[in-house]
Amino acid sequence: MEIVALIIIFGWLIISTIVAIMAGILKKFSLEEWTVASRSLSFVVVYFAFAAEIYSAFTFLGLAGWAFTYGAPIFYALAYFVTAYSTGFLVTLYYNRLARRFGYITQPDMFMHRYESSALGVLVALSGIAFLLPYIQLQILGTGIIVEIASYGALDRVTAILIAYICVTIFLFIGGYRGLAWTNVLQGILMFVAAFAMLSVPIRAFGSIEEMFRRIMTVSPAHLTLPGARGIHGIQWYMSTLALTTLGFWMFPHLVSRAYAAKTERIAMRTCAWMSWYSLLAFPIVLVGFSARLLFPTLSPADAAVMVSAREFFPPALVGLIGAGGLAAAVSTGGGLIQATAVLISRNLIQRGFLRGLSDMATAWTARFLTIVVSIMALYLSLFYPALLVYLLLVAYAGVVQFLPGTVFAILWRRATKHGVFAGIVVGTLVVILTTFVWPDPFQVHSGIWGLAANFPVAILVSLLTKPPSEERLKEFFAAIGK
């Protein structure tokens, strides 16, 4: 039975790899093509590219893991899957419009250009890389959990991770972002189908979803209210985490670049408007987490709830399909993050940092080879420093949300300066580190919000005390966004 599941899982991985390679080799290689698909992607491709990169191993594993362990606090994720697209509807317009006008490839390109500061571009790139690595780690860990369980233990976690990410590295190297985007069309469809297949678990196990909740109320009523089963995620944590994820969602460097790849700004905005419907796939996963709390009360790790439930209730072929859906979620997001990290290094640390004057073609080839380096680094971190999946994601959010003041000020406040934004990011990041590792989430308010609380006033104060960008640059920039 494990052979059937493995054939389906890796058959899907091979098909995805072939699609990515074919999509990539049909276009002439260049920096703009490999990084943002020559800014030419249609609504359908952008929609599923966003879906596959946004709904990741966190969705298939972390949601259920938190529902199993903590209960009601996980509902913050169901909320922000909707609220974040309202934010995206507002900002992707400017991302796409500015990128077309000024040729931005990465998020730091905007900071560097708007504020006339190479140093600020390097800082944003370094911060983005540092906080993307745990996000990549999350996808890699998820890959191992999914394949190990879906194969009924026939393939161990480390082997599964290595096979999957060798394929990812190959198709990224050849296909670039266009290849990844077309693969994500397939991945996005499969993920949605696999997630809704899991909706039958609470029904088959308990007769109805209502009965499942009735039993939870009897066994562990704390699972159904804040502060949750462990008593540590109260209303302050819930609201601050919802605010963090809503505001930080479109600060991730890879999602900014994805908005650049849309053929028009209308496509980027339309994608955000419709993406909330895709978030429905999260509901069945959360319900499986609650069901697993009753069915497998000693389950470890908790992040395995979806795959263990699938193996318990479905035949091997369907387990393989669900495993392929989970694998699709993990590798599509992981691949996008690896590619984005490689581009940040080649574009903003090398071409626009330490080796200025490097040609675009040389930069593109550098980015290609860096996908291998980044993959190896992320694999090492995943194998030797594993952690609970949602925790990893929230650490990443707390870091990237520190780009919010600089992004908002770039569009709305002419007086913002490079010194102010630079100081705000540094102070905000230091506060995140302190409130994550020294004094975790003071008063149950998430560390990322504490970082923003320091970041905004520092950025404003320092901007008022320092020289703004040239009037010529400000006129050029604000004319591009129609202001």
pLDDT at 389 over 80: no
Least confident span in 25-34, 52-61, 372-381: 52-61
Which has more pLDDT, 463 or 11? Answer: 463
**Two structure tokens written together for 287:** 């319900």
The mean of the pLDDT values for the chain is 91
Least confident span in 240-244, 247-251, 389-393: 389-393
* Number of domains, the chain: 1
Q: Is residue 140 within 8 Å of 379, Cβ to Cβ?
A: yes
**Residue 426 included in any domain:** no
Which has more pLDDT, 61 or 99? Answer: 99
- Residues in a beta bridge with 2: none
Greatest mean pLDDT range, 3-17, 18-32, 204-218: 204-218
Quick one: pLDDT band at residue 224, thresholds 50, 70, 90? very high
Residue (of 316, 286, 373) closest to 76 by Cα position: 286
Average pLDDT of span 350-368: 92
Q: Which residue has the tokens 């899907």?
A: 12
**Residue 433 included in any domain:** no
Which has more pLDDT, 470 or 380? Answer: 470
Task: Give the tens place of pLDDT for each residue, 442-454.
Answer: 999 999 999 999 9
Average pLDDT of span 454-481: 96
Say what the pLDDT of residue 234 is.
94
pLDDT at 456 over 90: yes
pLDDT at 68 over 80: yes
**Residue 411 included in any domain:** no
Say what the pLDDT of residue 61 is.
85
Say what the pLDDT of residue 253 is.
94
pLDDT at 103 over 90: yes
**Residue 446 included in any domain:** no
Instruction: Evaluate the CA torsion angle 259, 263, 266, 272 in order and state its sign.
Output: negative
Task: Give the tens place of pLDDT for each residue, 274-315.
Answer: 998 999 999 999 999 999 999 999 998 898 999 999 999 999
pLDDT at 411 over 90: yes
Quick one: pLDDT band at residue 385, thresholds 50, 70, 90? low
**Residue 126 included in any domain:** yes
Burial 43-52 (b: 16+ CB within 10 A, else e): bebbbbbbbb
Average pLDDT of span 242-260: 94
Rounded to the nearest angstrom, the gap between the alpha carbon of residue 3 and the centroid of all alpha carbons in its chain is 31
| Domain harbouring 267, CATH code | 1.20.1730.10
Task: Give the tens place of pLDDT for each residue, 312-335.
Answer: 999 988 998 888 888 888 888 889
Which has more pLDDT, 391 or 263? Answer: 263
**Residue 363 included in any domain:** yes
Average pLDDT of span 193-211: 94
**Residue 475 included in any domain:** no
Query: What percent of the chain is modeled with pLDDT above 90?
Result: 65
Q: Which domain holds residue 95?
A: 2-396
In this structure, the number of other CB atoms found within 10 A of the CB of residue 230 comes to 11
Which has more pLDDT, 115 or 356? Answer: 115
**Residue 286 included in any domain:** yes
- Distance between CA atoms of 310 and 285, rounded to whole angstroms? 11
pLDDT at 466 over 90: yes
- Distance between CA atoms of 14 and 12, rounded to whole angstroms? 5
Query: What percent of the chain is modeled with pLDDT above 70?
Result: 98
Say what the pLDDT of residue 70 is.
96
